[in-house]
Structure 1
């Protein structure tokens, strides 16, 4: 038997089904009124209109405005975490690879990641780390302010 038709079995009719359901007229279709908003719902409201209830108060979704912590009242650690270090080095290496100005003497370095590591060691990376706190506020730390080990 072939995968492309042929093969000797002629009992296949092509999958056509000649029996169709006759569509109901608009006045006999039970879903027609509901879809077109002509049927009454609970409390006498028209169902399916999608109209908004204007009398209700808007719902507060609890969006918390973020506030910056003053630099004198910082509560997070002064140490650069390994996750922040990885993010800072990756971001700065990408910037250097896209021809951003290098802030340390190169000394023959050409690898953007090695240049970023050298900038971090000298605390010359011009990036700011934003640490979010559980109450919705945040603290901004310059890389030069953090202790790098």
Structure 2
């Protein structure tokens, strides 16, 4: 089983750098921005969402750890929104070498327990349309699409 452990400053900087880069790549792959502007857009969005880094109000950054071996297998980034009525998943990343071992599903279960304990009634997220693995994880965890944005490049 996994446990959610608060991310400290020692891991935050490397997480931030990797997460911004990954998000920029996803935005390009999804066709949202050009490769030339992706990093700037990603950096700006992260700054808007987390202006105080780890100290940003109502923001939670966790290391996802395998309890059996005490190894970090991923990360989880959450933010309370809508005056405490919603927890939003900004990022769930399972390390490449740990994928396919059930850590994503276990993380979703640990997340639900954490959010219930806080008394927040709803969890929401965004997933890029091309990310079938993530979509499958979220659907299997009981999430349903509430909005679908579609595009066609001509």
Question: Does the alignment reach a TM-score above 0.5?
Answer: no
Q: Say which one has the larger Rg.
A: 1
Give the structure with the larger strand fraction: 2
TM-score by length of 1: 0.32
TM-score by length of 2: 0.31
Give the structure with the larger helix fraction: 2
